[in-house]
Chain A
Amino acid sequence: MSRKTMASTSRRGRGPALAATPAVLWFLLFMFAPLVVLFVVSVGVRGPGGGYQPGFTLANYGELQTRLVPILNTIEFSLLGTVVTLLLAYPLAYYLAMKAGRKKVVLLALIIVPFWTSMLIRTYAWTFLLGSKGIPEVLSAMGLADDVRLLNTPFAIVLGIVYNYLPLMLLPIYVSLERLDPALRAASKDLGAGRLATFRQVTLPLSAPGVLSGCLLVFIPVMGEYLIPVLLGGGRSYFLGNALADLFLQSRNWPLGAALAGSFILLMSFVVVGYSWLTRRLTGPLPTEGVL
C-alpha cells in the first residue's frame, strides 16, 4: 500500500470521529459529568455542618427507605394524574382530529395559548379558585354544599396536574389521530365493524403510539413536580421534588439527596426504556413513513 493511500485511509477513519466531537463533548459535559458528580456525592458523607465530605459508603442508599413516603406519593400521584389526563385528553383529541372541521385551528389555539403564561402564575391562580373564597363559597352561596374543602387536598393536586399537563398529552394523541387514514376506518366499517368495534380494533391501536408518548410526556415531568404539591397540596402530600429540595436546602444532607436523586433518575430511565420497548411492540418495526 502506498503512503498516499495510507494517509487518506487514516484521514477517512478519523473523519467521522472528528465530526461527532461536538455532540460527544456536549454529552460528556452536560449528561455524563453531572451524573458522575451525583454518584460521587451520593457515596460520600454529610459534613458536620451539612453539605458534602468525601468518602465512600453505601449507607445513603440504605437510608433511602426512610424516604419511602415521598417516593410512593410521587409514583401514586404521577400515575393517577397521567391516567386522568389521558381520559380527558383522548376524547378531546378525537373530537379535534375527527369532528371539529374548520373550528380545529381555533380550538387548538385556545388550548395552547394559555400555556404561554408562566406555570407558576397559572397554578397560583388556582389557589384562589379552590380556596375558601373561591368555588367553595360559590357552592355554599348556591346552597349546594357547605364546608367544601378543595385547596390543599389530593384532589387539588390531581387537578393541578391535569390542568398543567393536558396539552402535553393532547398533542401527541391528536397528531396520531390526525395522521390516521380515514380510509382505514371506512374499510373497518365496510368489513362489518360498527362504530365501537372500529374504534377498539382500528382507531385505538393505531393511536396507541400517540397515547404512549403523551403518557411519557406527562408522567416524567410530574414525577419531578415541585410547584403543584406546594401550592395546591399545601405541602401535605410530599413529592420527591419537595423531598429533594428539603434534603439539599433545609437539612443539607447532600449525600442522601444525591442518592435519592440518583435512584430517581435510574427509575426514570427504566420508564423510558419500557416506553420504547412498548412502542416497538405495539407498532412493529415502523414503516419509514406514510403507512401509519
Chain B
Amino acid sequence: MPVANDERVAEGFLRVNGLCKEYGDVRAVSDVSFALEPGTFFALLGPSGCGKTTLLKLLAGFETPSAGEIHLGGDVITHVPAFRRPLNTVFQHYALFPHMDVTKNVGYALRQQRPRIAKSEIQSRVDEALLMVRLDHLGRRRPWELSGGQQQRVALARALVAQPSVLLLDEPLSALDAKLRVDMQTELKSLQTRLGISFVFVTHDQGEALSMADRIAVMRAGEIVQDSTPQELYDLPVDSWVAGFIGTMNFVPGTVTGASGGLTQITTDAGRFSGIPTTSDLTPGRSAQLALRPERLRLSTPGSGDTATAECTASGVIESFSFHGDQVDCTVRTRTLGAVRVRIPLAGAAHEINLQPGTTVDVGWHPKDARIVPTWNSASRP
C-alpha cells in the first residue's frame, strides 16, 4: 500500500484498514475496517472482551497491529509511536499524574512539544482548556483532591489541550455515578460538536452509545458486526445478538419461509407471520427470530377492539408489571409467544386496562413494527 499523500484528505480523517491484533492464538481484533469523517462521534460498543479496548490501544499506538493499516489525514500512522501521534486519549480511570497539580497535568502535552512553547503561551492555553471544562478555579488542586467528575474533566482538558485531530475515550464515564454520567454525556456531546473533531468512544453501555454517538460500531469477538447510526442500529439490528444487546427485545424463534420486496415471512410455533422487514437477505429455510420491541407492542382487553389496527395478536395473562413513572413494563405470559415484555405509556389507553397480575389481555402488534433477524449463536460463527 503506497503512502497516501492525497491533499484532498482532510486533516482529521481517520481510516482503518483490515486491522488485526493477535495475542498468541487469540485474535483480539480481527479484520476491522472503518473510515471516519472529521467531526464524527464514533462509539465502539460491545461487551467486555470484545476487543474494543484493544482497538483503541491500536489507534493510540500502545499496541502494534499484527496486520492492517491506520491512516490519519494523509499519513499512514500504523507504526508511528504513540508519542508522535496527533491523537490523545482519555483513560478509563483518568490516569492523572498524582505528583502534579491540575495546571501541570493539563499543560503536560504542551511542555513536551519541540520547539518549546513559551511558558506564557502554555499558561494561556491551559487556562483556556480549564475554562472549557469549567474548572478554571481549581488549577492549584492535586488530582486526588478532586471529585470523580472533576477528575474526569481534568483528563478531558489534558487530552484536548494539544488540539488532537481525534480524541480517543476509553470508557470514560464508567467510574461516575449514574446522575453525573448523564450530565457528562450531554457535556461530552456538546464539547465534541463545538470542537468539530472526531471522538472515538469505547463503551459497553448501549444507552450511552445510543444517546451520544453519530455512529456506532458494535463489536463481538474482535469483529465489527454492525456499523451504523444509532437509529438504524436500534431499528434494524443485523442479527439476534445485536438485537438483544441493544435495548430490550422479545424473540420468537422460527424459520424463514419466504421473502418478497424486503419483507419476509417467518414460520414459528405461534404461526406464520408475513410482511415483516428484515436487515439482511434471508433465504428461506434459514433459522431466524421474530423480534419485537416492547414499546412497539400494545395491550388491550380481549374483545374491546382496541387492537384493530394491529394485525397480529396473542392473548395472555399479565404475569408481573413494574411502574416507571411515565411508562409501565409488563410481562405477559402468552400461550403462543411465551413470556413477552410490553412497555406502554401511562398516558393514553393503558390506564383503562387493569394492570394487575392475572388480568387476561391481548398483545398486539403491526407486522411493520416487528423485525426478522437471523439467529446468532456462538456456534454459528464462520
What residues of chain A have their CB less than 8 Å away from a CB belonging to chain B?
Answer: 181, 183-184, 186-194, 197-198, 201-202, 205-206, 282-284, 287, 291-292
Q: Is the CB of B95 within 8 A of A181?
A: yes
Known: A284-B99, A287-B98. Is A194-B91 also a contact (CB below 8 A)?
no
Can you offer 13 A-B residue contacts whose CB atoms are under 8 A? A181-B93, A183-B91, A183-B92, A183-B95, A184-B95, A186-B89, A188-B97, A190-B61, A194-B81, A194-B83, A284-B99, A287-B98, A287-B144
Q: Is the CB of B99 within 8 A of A206?
A: yes
Q: Is the CB of A190 within 8 A of B82?
A: yes
List residues of chain A with CB within 8 A of the CB of B84.
192
B97, B113, B142: the one contacting A192 at CB < 8 Å is B113
Chain B count of residues within 8 A CB distance of the other chain: 28
Q: Is the CB of A205 within 8 A of B108?
A: no
Whole-angstrom distance between the alpha carbons of A192 and B99 in the complex? 18
Is B277 an interface residue, CB under 8 A from the partner?
no
B83, B93, B142, B162: the one contacting A183 at CB < 8 Å is B93
Q: Is the CB of A202 within 8 A of B112?
A: no
B99, B142, B159: the one contacting A205 at CB < 8 Å is B99
List residues of chain A with CB within 8 A of the CB of B142.
284
Is B88 an interface residue, CB under 8 A from the partner?
yes
Which of chain B's residues has its CB closest to A194's CB? B83
Whole-angstrom distance between the alpha carbons of A99 and B88 in the complex? 25
Whole-angstrom distance between the alpha carbons of A198 and B113 in the complex? 13
Interface centre among B84, B144, B162 (most CB of A within 10 A): B144
List residues of chain A with CB within 8 A of the CB of B109.
191-192
B99, B112, B143: the one contacting A191 at CB < 8 Å is B112
Q: Is the CB of B60 within 8 A of A206?
A: no
Within B73-115, which residues are at the interface with A (CB < 8 Å)? Answer: 81-84, 87-89, 91-93, 95-99, 108-109, 112-113
Whole-angstrom distance between the alpha carbons of A189 and B81 in the complex? 9
Task: Please give the distance in Å from A175's CB to the nearest CB on chain B.
Answer: 16
Q: Is the CB of A202 within 8 A of B97?
A: yes
Within B98-151, which residues are at the interface with A (CB < 8 Å)? Answer: 98-99, 108-109, 112-113, 142-144
Is B34 an interface residue, CB under 8 A from the partner?
no
List residues of chain B with CB within 8 A of the CB of A192.
83-84, 109, 112-113, 162
Whole-angstrom distance between the alpha carbons of A85 and B285 in the complex? 75
Interface centre among A191, A192, A201, A202 (most CB of B within 10 A): A191
Q: Is the CB of B83 within 8 A of A193?
A: yes
Whole-angstrom distance between the alpha carbons of A192 and B113 in the complex? 7
Whole-angstrom distance between the alpha carbons of A184 and B62 in the complex? 12
Q: Is the CB of B144 within 8 A of A190?
A: no
Given A191-B83, A193-B112: 9 more A-B contacts, CB < 8 Å: A181-B93, A181-B95, A184-B95, A189-B81, A190-B62, A190-B82, A206-B97, A287-B98, A287-B144
Is B298 an interface residue, CB under 8 A from the partner?
no
Interface centre among B60, B84, B97, B162 (most CB of A within 10 A): B97
Which of chain A's residues has its CB closest to B142's CB? A284
A187, A197, A206: the one contacting B91 at CB < 8 Å is A187
Known: A192-B109, A193-B112, A194-B83. Is A291-B98 also a contact (CB below 8 A)?
yes
Q: Is the CB of B113 within 8 A of A206?
A: no
Is B153 an interface residue, CB under 8 A from the partner?
no
Q: Is the CB of B112 within 8 A of A197?
A: yes
List residues of chain B with CB within 8 A of the CB of A201.
108
Whole-angstrom distance between the alpha carbons of A215 and B84 in the complex? 36
Task: Please give the distance in Å from A131's CB to the nearest CB on chain B.
Answer: 47
Which of chain A's residues has its CB closest to B170's CB? A183
List residues of chain A with CB within 8 A of the CB of B220.
none
Which of chain A's residues has its CB closest to B109's CB? A191
Is B343 an interface residue, CB under 8 A from the partner?
no
Q: Is the CB of A189 within 8 A of B98?
A: no
Q: Is the CB of B98 within 8 A of A191?
A: no
A190, A194, A198, A206: the one contacting B98 at CB < 8 Å is A206
Q: Is the CB of B98 within 8 A of A187?
A: no
B97, B112, B144: the one contacting A184 at CB < 8 Å is B97
Which of chain A's residues has its CB closest to B168's CB? A190
Task: Please give the distance in Å from B195's CB to the nearest CB on chain A.
Answer: 17
Is B158 an interface residue, CB under 8 A from the partner?
yes
Closest 5 CB pairs of A and B: A192-B112, A183-B95, A287-B144, A191-B109, A187-B95
Known: A189-B82, A190-B89, A193-B83. Is A291-B113 also a contact (CB below 8 A)?
no
Task: Please give the distance in Å from A197's CB to the nearest CB on chain B.
Answer: 6
Which of chain B's residues has its CB closest to A187's CB? B95
Task: Please give the distance in Å from A272's CB to the nearest CB on chain B.
Answer: 23
Q: Is the CB of A291 within 8 A of B143?
A: yes
Q: Is the CB of B91 within 8 A of A191?
A: no
